[in-house]
Amino acid sequence: MNSNRTVLITGASSGFGLLTTVTLARRGWRVLATMRDLARRDRLETAARGAGVFDRVEFHPLDVTSPDQIASFAASLADRPLHALINNAGFALPGFAEDTTDAELRHQLDTNFFGAASVTRAFLPLLRRQGFGHILMISSVSGRMAFPGLGSYSASKFALEGWTEALRFEMKPLGIQVVLVEPGSFDTDIWHRNARPAAGLLDPASPNAKRASRWLDFIEHKVHRADPQVVVDTISRILDNPHPRLRYLIGKDAHLGLMLRRLLPWRLFESFIIKVSGMDR
C-alpha cells in the first residue's frame, strides 16, 4: 500500500487522468486530482465513489495555461510532501497543417507543452527541497513519429519529449526521477470529448476536403484502440520503481510503428503511411 504517498495529476476529469486517479487511489495513494473546470468532475467523482476511494481523492481547479493559477496552487501545497507529479492535461487538434491557423497551433502548444512545463517548474522547488519524487509526462508515440493530420499534436509532443529529456539529465542527480510515457492508440476521450478539430478540417471549401474525409474515416473506423488500463498499470509500476528509465513506449501499434520506421527505407515507410492514411489521392 502507498497510504503515505501523494500524487498530483493534471487533466484528471477524463481519459488517462481519470483512470489513473482511481487506480492509484485504490492502491492507497492520496490523489490531488486537478482539472480546468471543476464542473467536469462528475465522471471522476462517480468512478471514485464506485471504486470506494472517494475519500482518497481531492478535487482542485487548475488551468495549466494560467500562470497565476499554477503559482497559487503550487504555493498552497508548499508545506505538503509530493511524491509524484503526472502531467496528463492535454487535447488533440486534428487537422492538416495547411488548414490549421496560428491561433489553433499556439493553443495546442500552450496546453500540451507549455502547460506541462509550467506546472513542472512550479513544483520543482518543492521536489528539490524534498530530494525525491517522480515527474511523469504523458506524451505519445506521436512525440517520436508524426502522422498526417496530426502535425499540431505531434509538434506539441515532440517539444515535450525534448524538454523532458533535458530535464531528466538536470534532475536525476537531485534524486528526482523524470519519465516519458508514450502510449499508442488507446480508447480514451482524446479523439472524442477532448478533441478540438481545426476549423479547416471540416471546411468543405478546403483544398484538402476529400482527403480529410478519407482521413477521418481511417481515424474513426480503422484505428484499433486498446484498453487504456494497460497504460495506467504501467504508470503505477513506474511510480513504484525508484530507478525508472526515461521512456516507456506502450501499445502494439506504437512498437510496430517505430519498428517499421527504423527498419524500412524511408521511401517505403513514407509510401506506406501515405497510402493507409488516405493521402495518396
Q: How far is CA 178 from CA 61, 124, 159, 231, 238, in A?
A: 24, 11, 15, 17, 10
- The helix-helix angle for 15-26 and 42-50 (nearest 10°) equals 30
Three-class secondary structure of residue 127 per DSSP: helix
Q: Can you name the residues that pair with 135 across neighbouring β-strands?
A: 85, 178
Query: b/e string for 138-163 if b means 16 or more Cβ within 10 A?
Result: bbbbbbbbebbbbbbbbbbbbbbbeb
- DSSP code at position 250: E
Look up residue 67 and give its three cell numbers: 500562470
Distance CA 204, CA 223 (A): 24
Q: Which of 73, 153, 158, 191 is catalytic?
A: 153
User: Is 153 in the active site?
Assistant: yes
Look up residue 115 and give its three cell numbers: 502547460
Residues catalogued as catalytic: 153
